[in-house]
């Protein structure tokens, strides 16, 4: 691991994704932290154009810093989508410095946004491991879990309701059977009572004991019914 002078406000340390650069002193917002440096690659040079590694820092269309050299401590700085530092590019001077964009406390990991191209090529396929993206994923997972739980509870509630409904239905059925049998029993009791008192049990019987006008009676008005003549009745006898 490269030596770092004790006057520098950072050290190389273990991070979530391997190694990273950590603040050893408080770094104020706007302060320059470290320079990102290495051999300049010219896109017009065929040999340079063939060089490919993860530490290439494109300054402009023509110039790119090859930051893979051991002395470039800044290459340890990891990417973050919500960083505490930024890369400050001076295109004319072909110089890049990493600068704090927030106050960084001792022990905090220094991070800057590597940019859209790097993100798309290297980070998106494997999933960005920065705190912001991890939190986002954790939140999504928590939401998915909550949704699953909600659906489960809903299904359970539905099943319980169905069971309850069925139970009520069953109970009602039982009650109806009981009721029907008790009605039958009451009816036979009443019939017995009526027979005993000399009146034939009649479903149409009313409280007065007079027969109800039947349909036949209604079609043949009561007034027209000829009473049997007593003489004829006598003759028959
Ligand atoms: Zn991220």
In a domain, 47, yes or no: yes
Q: What is the CATH number of the domain that holds 90?
A: 2.170.270.10
| 149 and 107 fall within a common domain | no
| 39 and 134 fall within a common domain | no
| 77 and 111 fall within a common domain | yes
In a domain, 67, yes or no: yes
| 102 and 28 fall within a common domain | yes
Query: What's the pTM value of the predicted model, to 2 decimals?
Result: 0.64
DSSP class of residue 119?
I
In the predicted model, residues of the chain with pLDDT beneath 50 are: 199, 201, 205, 233, 236-237
CA 24–ligand 1 middle distance (angstroms):
24
| 22 and 96 fall within a common domain | yes
CA 102–ligand 1 middle distance (angstroms):
17
DSSP class of residue 92?
T
Domain range enclosing 53: 10-127
Task: State phi, psi for 168 to the nearest 5 degrees.
Answer: -65, -40
* CA distances for 229 relative to 155, 217, 223, angstroms: 82, 20, 16
Residues paired with 97 in a beta bridge: 35, 88
Q: Is 114 exposed, middle or buried (0-12, 13-18, 19+ CB in 10 A)?
A: buried
CA 35–ligand 1 middle distance (angstroms):
23
CA 140–ligand 1 middle distance (angstroms):
14
Residue-wise pLDDT tens digits, 228-237: 555 554 554 4
| 55 and 106 fall within a common domain | yes
| 105 and 28 fall within a common domain | yes
53 contacts 68 by C-beta, under 8 angstroms: yes
CA 28–ligand 1 middle distance (angstroms):
23
Q: Supply the pLDDT for residue 187.
A: 67
In a domain, 44, yes or no: yes
CA distance 181 to 56: 93
CA 134–ligand 1 middle distance (angstroms):
7
CA 41–ligand 1 middle distance (angstroms):
28
Q: Supply the pLDDT for residue 174.
A: 84
CA distance 128 to 144: 20
* CA distances for 199 relative to 186, 211, 214, 237, angstroms: 17, 12, 19, 27
| 107 and 149 fall within a common domain | no
40 contacts 107 by C-beta, under 8 angstroms: no
In a domain, 37, yes or no: yes
Residues paired with 102 in a beta bridge: none
| 46 and 92 fall within a common domain | yes
Q: Give Dmax over CA atoms of the chain in angstroms.
A: 150
| 134 and 148 fall within a common domain | yes
CA 198–ligand 1 middle distance (angstroms):
100
In a domain, 225, yes or no: no
152 contacts 103 by C-beta, under 8 angstroms: no
Residue-wise pLDDT tens digits, 1-32: 778 888 899 999 999 889 999 999 999 999 99
| 14 and 77 fall within a common domain | yes
In a domain, 16, yes or no: yes
- Work out how many domains the chain is built from and give that number: 2
In a domain, 136, yes or no: yes
* CA distances for 222 relative to 119, 145, 199, angstroms: 105, 82, 23
Instruction: Tell me whether strands 109-112 and 78-79 are parallel, antiparallel or unpaired.
Output: parallel
CA distance 233 to 237: 7
CA 98–ligand 1 middle distance (angstroms):
18
Residues with CB under 5 A from ligand 1 (ion): 81, 128, 130, 133
Q: Supply the pLDDT for residue 214.
A: 55
| 153 and 96 fall within a common domain | no
* CA distances for 98 relative to 17, 29, 31, 86, 91, angstroms: 20, 12, 9, 6, 14
In a domain, 228, yes or no: no
User: What length is written for the chain?
Assistant: 237
């Amino acid at each position: 691991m490269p030596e770092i002078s004790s006057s520098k406000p950072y050290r190389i340390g273990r991070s979530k994704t391997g190694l990273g650069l950590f603040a050893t002193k408080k770094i104020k917002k706007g302060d320059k932290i470290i320079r990102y440096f290495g051999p300049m690659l010219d896109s017009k040079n065929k040999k340079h154009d063939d060089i490919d590694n993860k530490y290439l820092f494109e300054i402009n269309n023509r110039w790119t810093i090859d930051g893979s050299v051991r002395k470039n401590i800044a290459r340890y700085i990891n990417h973050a989508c919500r960083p505490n530092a930024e890369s400050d590019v001076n295109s004319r001077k072909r110089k890049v410095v990493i600068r704090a964009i927030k106050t960084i406390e001792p022990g905090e990991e220094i991070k800057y946004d590597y940019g859209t191209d790097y993100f798309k090529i290297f980070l998106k396929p494997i999933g960005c491991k920065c705190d912001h993206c991890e939190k986002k994923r954790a939140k999504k997972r928590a939401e998915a879990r909550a949704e699953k739980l909600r659906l489960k509870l809903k299904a359970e509630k539905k099943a319980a309701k169905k069971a309850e409904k069925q139970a009520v239905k069953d109970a009602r059925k039982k009650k109806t059977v009981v009721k029907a049998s008790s009605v039958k029993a009451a009816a036979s009791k009443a019939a017995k009572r009526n027979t005993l008192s000399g009146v034939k049990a009649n479903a149409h019987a009313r409280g007065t004991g007079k027969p109800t006008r039947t349909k036949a009676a209604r079609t043949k008005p009561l007034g027209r019914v000829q009473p049997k003549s007593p003489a004829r009745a006598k003759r028959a006898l």
